[in-house]
Amino acid sequence: MLMPEGVAIDGITGAVSPATVHYTKRLSELRELFQDREAVESEVERLHDPIVYEVAEYRKQGSDIFFGTTTMSPGRVGSEYYMTRGHFHERPNAAEVYYTQHGDGILLLESRDGQSENVEMQPGSCAFIPPGWAHRSINTGSEKLVFVWMCNIAAGHDYGDILKRGMRKLVVARNQLPVLIDNPSWGH
């Protein structure tokens, strides 16, 4: 029998305690996400391959949900802000919830047929990600972006489609403020 347990989540650092999984994504692992590949290489060099985001999970076998945090560093590659890979859930009815605890960001969402939506991420905002919508988080602030997520343990993660086609919108800095623009290489 699974036993109840309190899990501490630090709203500033994103630390989950106890956590069952923890991983980091560094800029060199995320090269393909950014438009300006030369800028990626020079930032990898200049910042010694910085951590772009970290994920800490709490998952127990025998339960149908799991949850955790994503903690994103502030930063840009050229004019593009740091972002997560982005994915669809494989299971057709698998939704997800993102509850932002710290920082400022944009949650970009995209349906299979290319409809694009976005939801602001700021402390206290809770985003509903419906089934069938790819989701990517972007840290547009100058501090860490920390959010708690929760979804079905069998949701499945499809990264390939978004990696191949990109997302329809890019989030870039214009006069130090984030704006959404059309992705010129979307679908290529």
Please give the full DSSP string across 27-91, using - where no structure is assigned.
GGGGGGG-S-HHHHHHHHHHTTS-EEEEEEEE--TT-SEEEEEEEE---EETTEEPB---BEESS
Decide whether 38 or 156 has the Cβ nearer to ligand F6R. Answer: 156
- To ligand F6R, the closest distance from the beta carbon of 35 in angstroms equals 18
Rounded Cα distance, 158 and 148, in Å: 20
- Sketch the per residue contact string, 53 through 92, with ligand F6R: x for CB under 6 A, - otherwise: --x--------------x-------------xxxx-----
Provide the mask over 107-146, with x wherever binding to ligand F6R is found by CB under 6 A and - wherever it is not.
----------------------------x-x---------
Instruction: Kindly tell me which of 72 and 175 has the beta carbon lying closer to ligand F6R.
Output: 72
State yes or no: residue 149 binds ligand F6R (CB under 6 A).
yes
The answer to the question of residue 151 lying near ligand F6R (CB under 6 A) is yes
What span, in angstroms and rounded, lies between the C-alpha atoms of 107 and 122? 10
- Please give the DSSP secondary-structure letter assigned to residue 91: S
How many chain residues interact with ligand F6R (CB under 6 A)?
12
Q: Which is nearer to ligand F6R, 17 or 38 (CB)?
A: 17
C-alpha dihedral, 143 to 144 to 145 to 149, nearest 10°: -160
